[in-house]
Amino acid sequence: MATRAAGTRITGSPRAAGGKVKRPLAKLRNIPALPTRSTFLSKRYVNSQQLSTAHPRAHIIVHFQQAVSVLRIHDGSEIQGGSTSAVVYFTQEYEDGPVSIKGEIIGLGFEPNVERGWHIHESGDLSNGCASAGLHFNPEGKNHGAPDDDERHVGDLGNLQIDENGDAYIDNEVINDKISLNGRKSVIGRTLVIHLGTDDLGKGGQADSLTVGASGGRLACGIIGAIPNS
């Protein structure tokens, strides 16, 4: 094996004058180095609060104005096939303003002329289909209620009106003025769920009326994702 002659300097070693090893200033002071622009662009952030706190020295705040959820029927972790067009859009024109909801839910096989409960659930986990999306999004710790009740979950959207063809259309409505696309009440990264039953809006007196509105099982769901601002 070849040996290095005495006094030979190894090139590429990070040494300054005097033979001391140079270390990045951030490591010496136990401060994480600022990420590069490419690092920021390569990450996915689920809401503006997470983005603004991604690094202690970063002052980047993004206020999302639009989000979308594409709903599918799940059987456990498997997405069921079939011809569906179930897309719901969320729009918030300014940071603290109301969120309007618009969309069409076609081909999910609803019974015609009924109402079906739908809510925003706390988790964006669909590893076990809609069942793993958690409880209703409820950062204020309130009971379940109607979308215009004072006592309600942030994620309470009430009932979808299903038409004679078994489809539903939402025409740019402000359904719940508590939801947001930004900050602590952001619904981005959470899951929109449609249930098999009618939501009793917390007034049915059932064992689960004040938690889920006795809405029954979960038929279809989709994670709410941010749409980049134009």
Catalytic residue among 153, 190, 199, 200: 153
Instruction: List, for residues 151-203, the tens digit of each pLDDT value.
Output: 999 999 999 999 999 999 999 999 999 999 999 999 999 999 999 999 999 99
* Nearest-angstrom CA–CA distance, 37 and 126: 31
* Nearest-angstrom CA–CA distance, 209 and 199: 8
Instruction: List, for residues 84-95, the tens digit of each pLDDT value.
Output: 789 999 999 988
Catalytic residue among 74, 152, 190, 218: 218
Other Cβ atoms within 10 Å of 36 Cβ, number: 9
| pLDDT confidence bin for 63, thresholds 50/70/90 | confident
| pLDDT confidence bin for 109, thresholds 50/70/90 | confident
Phi, psi of 208 (to 5 degrees): -110, 20
Catalytic residue among 144, 152, 190, 199: 144
* Nearest-angstrom CA–CA distance, 122 and 134: 6
Determine whether 199 is an active site residue. no
Block residue for tokens 């889920």? 212
pLDDT reported for residue 28: 39
Residue ranges of the alpha helices (H) in 95-213? 209-212
Determine whether 59 is an active site residue. no
pLDDT reported for residue 74: 80
Determine whether 63 is an active site residue. no
Mean pLDDT, rounded, for 94-120: 93
Catalytic residue among 74, 116, 152, 156: 156
Catalytic residue among 74, 121, 152, 190: 121
Q: State the CATH class of domain 66-227.
A: mainly beta
* Nearest-angstrom CA–CA distance, 15 and 158: 66
Catalytic residue among 74, 136, 152, 190: 136
Q: What is the mean pLDDT of the chain?
A: 80
Q: Is 73 helix (H, G, I), strand (E, B) or coil?
A: strand
Determine whether 74 is an active site residue. no
pLDDT reported for residue 20: 53
pLDDT reported for residue 53: 41
In the chain, where the domains are located: 23-62, 66-227
Determine whether 144 is an active site residue. yes
* Nearest-angstrom CA–CA distance, 122 and 192: 9
Give me the count of residues in the chain. Answer: 230
Which of 31, 72, 22, 74 minimizes the C-alpha distance to 55? 31
Residue ranges of the alpha helices (H) in 7-83? 25-28, 37-42, 48-52
* Nearest-angstrom CA–CA distance, 226 and 20: 48
Catalytic residue among 116, 119, 152, 190: 119
Q: Assess whether pLDDT exceeds 50 at residue 46.
A: no
Catalytic residue among 74, 195, 199, 200: 195
Determine whether 156 is an active site residue. yes
Which of 171, 180, 212 minimizes the C-alpha distance to 193? 212
